[in-house]
Amino acid sequence: MILVVDIGNTNIVIGIYRDDELIGSWRMVTKEKKTSDEYGIFLLNLLKYNDIDYKKINSIVVSSVVPNVMYSFENAMKKFFNIEPLIVGPGTKTGITIATENPKEVGADRIVGLVAAYEEYGGPLMVVDFGTATTYDVVSEKGEYRYGITSPGIQISADALWQRTAQLPKIEIKKPDTILARNTITSMQAGLVYGYIGQVEYIIKKVKEELNNENIKVVATGGLGRLIADETDAIDIFDPMLLFKGLKIIHDKNCKDKK
C-alpha cells in the first residue's frame, strides 16, 4: 500500500492506495509545532481506527508547501513506518516540464495537480485549485507549464472582512439565493461568492484571450472548489481527488519497484 500526503498551509490531506484504488482519505489541520512523535502516533491511530494495517504500507510520497513542518513529518515517516518518503521537488520525475522563469519557486502542490490533470485530461489545460490561495496554472498540449496566477483564497477573503472591520461578523461561506442582499450576513456572502465567481470567470477568459486559445480545458479542485464550479460554465471539470491522483502518478513514475 502507498501512503500519499499533501501538506498545505491550512490542512494536511492524507490518502491510502491499495494498488490503484484509493481506499481512504482524511485531513488534519496543519500545525507547525507538532513533533515527529505526534505526527507518527496520530497516523498510526488513524490507520488503526480504519482497520488498515500500517505494516502493509511499503511506500510514502509527500508534497508540501510548508517547509517548517517537513523536518518533523519526514522523521515521523522514518521512525514509525521505517520508510524513506519520496518528497516531491526538484529532480522528481513528473512528466511535466516546468518552463517558468524560476522553476524552483513553483509549489509542489501545483505540480502534483498539474501532473494528475494532464495525465487524465490531456492538454492544453488550466488547473484552478481553490486552496488557502486560489491558483490558476496553465499547461500546454506538450505538457509544458509556463504560466501561473495566484490570488487570495475565498477563506482568506472572508477572514479579512471580519478581522479588519469593527462591525462585520464572521460568516459561513455559501451562496445566497440572490445577489440583492437585505441584511449584513447575506450582503457579505453575496459579495464573497458572486464576486469570486466573477474573478474566476474573468481570469479564465483573460488567459484564453491572451493565449488565443478557446480550447483550453479548465479543471478545478480544492476545498471550496465545488461551491464555485457549480455556479459557472467557465469550469469544465471539478475533480476533488486531483492531488491524490497526482501523488500516486508521481510515485509510480519514481518508485517502479515498489508495490
**Residues known to be catalytic:** 109
User: Are the CB atoms for 222 and 131 separated by under 8 Å?
Assistant: yes
CA dihedral 44, 50, 52, 54 (to 10 degrees): -10
Residue keyed to cell 499533501? 6
With vertex at residue 230, the alpha carbon angle to CA 227 and CA 234, rounded to the nearest 5 degrees, is: 115
Cα–Cα distances in Å, from 188 out to 165, 178, 180, 184, 225? 12, 12, 11, 6, 19
Sequence-separated (6 or more) residues with CB below 8 Å from residue 13: 5, 6, 25, 26, 27, 243, 244
Return the C-alpha cell found at 197.
Answer: 465567481
Residues 6 or more apart in contact with residue 84 via CB below 8 angstroms: 77, 78
d(CA 81, CA 89): 21
Name the packing angle between helices 108-121 and 242-254 (round to 10°).
Answer: 90
Q: Are 94 and 250 contacting, i.e. CB atoms less than 8 angstroms apart?
A: yes
Residue 158 to residue 48: CA distance in whole angstroms:
37
**Contacts of range 157-166, beta carbons closer than 8 Å, 24 or more positions apart:** 157/192, 157/196, 158/188, 158/192, 161/188, 161/192
